Amino acid sequence: MRKALAPVALMLALQCSVAQAGEVVLQPTTVQDLKAVFGQVQSRDTVPARARIGGVLLSRSVDEGTAVKAGQVIATVGDEKLALQLQAVDARIKALQAQLENAKADLERSQALIARGAETQSRLDQLRTAANVLTNQIAASQADRAVIVQQTTEGQVLAPKDGRVLTVPTVPGSVIMPGETVARIAAGGYYLRLALPERHAAHIKAGDPVSVGGRGPGAEAQGGPRRQGKIVKVYPELEGGRVIADAEVDGLGDFFVGERVPVWIPVATRQALAVPADAVQTREGVDYVRVAAEGGAIDVPVVLGPAQDGRVEILSGLRAGDRVVTP
């Protein structure tokens, strides 16, 4: 038997009564029509990994497609001025420490002299104040040094979330400005973005099931399994005469972001007739179904529709009440 036409997924429940052994009486049943569209794989979040300081991109440990973890170092930015500033602060701290040692020595001598009455109180206070000022200057310089060390540490570009690297617009050796993007990361999982003609806007809603076909050309002809999912959001604004919806489908992690795959969505209901698949015979390119009649069974040519769950829809050739002979 030839394969069914392009799938318009049917929830066919063949409502038929048994007339005698090997025969079924056709009765119409309500089925759902599925609209075939293409869905585009999107990431829930696309976050940039940005440089926190300016300088030269010294190294990069990721490329397009690399999986990363939150907090992972993916690149290093270096600024030669930071090393020079750190040397200047260290030198200033050493000079202040030397001045502080002299101030403390002068203060100790002044305290010894004032005990013998050979020094004034005002002179002692001046020396004590000078020592305190130098101590505070050293503390301020150490704080400046900590800032420079922190800036050096911020030269490491970190991945903001778990995900997969989409693009890396910079290369090692290029000049980086603060806040410039070093890599774009797809994070937060994946979903399908669907666009349907606006005439279907009134028929789709959150919670509707969807069926996702295989990847690549010819996947449907090969008869591979479909992925099942559901619509989670229908956007209230039309774009270019189309209603936009998002669908969640398991197993999209191995897809490319932006990849297009066939999707079938229920959009309407109708009445249909269906027969068991083994009741159809194909001879010389024509499909036949054997129907019981007075005087014996006859082969009736039919036009077939979609097939699912072992049943095939009959588009023309049979009518309700016909007794179909099954093997």
Q: What are phi and psi of 232, to 5 degrees?
A: -110, -20
Give the pLDDT confidence of 32-72 residue by residue, as tens digits.
777 888 899 988 888 999 999 999 999 999 998 888 999 99
E-state strands within the chain? 17-18, 23-25, 29-50, 55-60, 67-68, 73-78, 156-158, 163-167, 175-176, 181-197, 209-212, 227-234, 242-249, 260-276, 280-283, 286-293, 296-308, 311-316, 323-325
- 211 DSSP β-pair partners: 228, 264
In sequence order, which residues have a C-beta less than 8 Å from that of residue 106 and are 6 or more positions away?
A: 127, 130
Number of domains in the chain: 2
In a domain, 266, yes or no: no
Residues 6 or more apart in contact with residue 200 via CB below 8 angstroms: 35, 243, 265, 267
pTM for the model stands at 0.57
Q: Determine, yes or no, domain membership for 116.
A: yes
The CA distance from 172 to 180, in Å, is 14
Identify the band that residue 13 occupies on the pLDDT scale cut at 50, 70 and 90: very low
Q: Is residue 304 part of a domain?
A: no
Residue 132 C-beta-side C-alpha neighbours within 13 Å: 6
pLDDT in tens, 162-185: 989 999 999 999 999 999 999 999
For residues 300 and 292, the answer to whether their CB atoms sit within 8 Å is no
Six token digits for residue 87: 């040397």
- If asked whether residues 118 and 179 sit together in one domain, one would say no
In this structure, is residue 264 part of a structural domain? no
Does 11 map to a domain?
no
| pLDDT number for residue 218 | 55
pLDDT the model gives residue 216: 63
Does 100 share its domain with 145? yes
- Domain containing 53 — which CATH number? 2.40.50.100
CA dihedral 86, 87, 92, 93 (to 10 degrees): 70
Q: Which domain holds residue 62?
A: 49-74+159-185
Asked whether residue 70 is assigned to any structural domain, the reply reads yes
Examine the domain organization and report whether 141 and 84 are in the same domain.
yes
Cα Rg of the chain (Å, integer): 39
Q: Does residue 128 sit in helix, strand or coil?
A: helix
Residues 127-159 pLDDT 10s: 889 999 999 999 999 999 999 998 888 899 999
The span from the CA of 61 to the CA of 58, in Å, is: 10
Q: Is there a domain that residue 147 lies in?
A: yes
Cα–Cα distance list, 249 to 197, 210, 225, 231 (Å):
21, 8, 14, 9
| Structure tokens, 258 | 């932006």
Calculate the alpha carbon distances from 70 to 45, 162, 187, 227 in Å.
13, 5, 10, 29
Is 265 contained in some domain? no
DSSP for residue 162: S
User: 172 versus 322: which is more confidently predicted?
Assistant: 172
Which of the listed residues 153, 173, 201 is the one where a domain comes to its end? 153
**Per-residue confidence (pLDDT) for residue 224, from 0 to 100:** 60
CA distance 296 to 70: 74
* Judgement on whether residues 111 and 125 belong to the same structural domain of the protein: yes
